[in-house]
């Protein structure tokens, strides 16, 4: 298929309608589309392609050769390795689902301050989410392929070269993801 329909490669450069913090570092040959927001202390590697309306949060790292499609959100301090492909609408590093029950029956949000690490050669399908934990990390190991509409919850570890098909949901907490090449981070 690569011969019959080669992929469109946008030219290197930064669109003038992009917002990039002065403290961000952008690697050589990056292609950054219109309406992208890149916050303070972000590192973007070489040959990275970022589609329109993407958002890269403070302190995040995007490794060499990554391709982030439209409307991707990489939240603060998330780390993407090399050659990671993130399809449209993905959220990496959103808050995990953590609440503590109060004595009066209401719930208090538990701050989610951990990180998400996506290792090399991972692909994440459209509208999937990978949540950050309260402490520690959520990690997707090298070579994993995640289909559209998949939820990877806080504190989960997805194994090397694991395949997760559409609409899979892996819950955080005790035992989350056991038996699917996935293990809960302890």
Q: Residue 184 pLDDT more than 60?
A: no
57 — pLDDT class (breaks 50, 70, 90): very high
Average pLDDT over every residue of 100-129: 97
Residues taking part in catalysis: 154
The widest CA-to-CA distance across the chain, in whole angstroms, is 64
pTM reported for the whole predicted model: 0.90
In which band, very low, low, confident or very high, does the pLDDT at 173 lie, cut at 50, 70 and 90? low
- Pairing, β 107-109 against β 99-101: antiparallel
Q: Find the domain containing 92 and state its range.
A: 13-178
| pLDDT for 181 | 52
Residue 186 lies in a domain: no
- Distance set, CA 64 to CA 57, 82, 171 (Å): 17, 5, 30
Stretch 123-145: mean pLDDT, rounded? 97
Return the SS3 of 174.
Answer: coil
Q: What is the number of domains present in the chain?
A: 1
In a domain, 6, yes or no: no
Within-domain flag for 2: no
Sequence-ordered list of residues with C-beta below 8 angstroms from that of 70, at least 6 positions apart, any chain: 33, 51, 52, 53, 54, 88, 89
Indicate if the pLDDT at residue 44 is higher than 60.
yes
The CATH code of the domain that includes 67 is 2.160.10.10
| pLDDT over 70 percentage in the chain | 92
**Residues contacting 18, CB < 8 A, separation 6+:** 32, 33, 34, 35, 36, 37, 38
Model confidence at 6, in pLDDT bands (50, 70, 90)? confident
């Amino acid at each position: 298929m690569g011969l019959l329909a080669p992929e469109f490669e946008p030219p290197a450069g930064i669109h003038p309608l992009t917002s990039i913090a002065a403290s961000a570092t952008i690697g050589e040959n990056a292609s950054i589309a219109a309406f992208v927001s890149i916050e303070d202390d972000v590192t973007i590697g070489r040959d990275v392609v970022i589609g329109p309306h993407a958002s890269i949060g403070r302190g995040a790292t995007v490794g060499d050769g990554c391709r982030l499609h439209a409307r991707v959100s990489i939240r603060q301090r998330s780390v993407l390795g090399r050659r990671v492909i993130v399809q449209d609408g993905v959220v990496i590093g959103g808050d995990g689902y953590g609440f503590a029950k109060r004595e009066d029956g209401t719930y208090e949000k538990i701050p989610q301050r951990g990180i998400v690490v996506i290792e090399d050669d991972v692909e994440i399908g459209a509208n999937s989410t990978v949540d950050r934990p309260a402490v520690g990390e959520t990690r997707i190991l090298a070579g994993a392929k995640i289909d559209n509409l998949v939820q990877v919850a806080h504190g989960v570890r997805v194994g090397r070269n694991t395949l997760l098909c559409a609409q899979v949901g892996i819950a955080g907490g005790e035992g989350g993801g056991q038996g699917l090449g996935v293990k809960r981070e302890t």
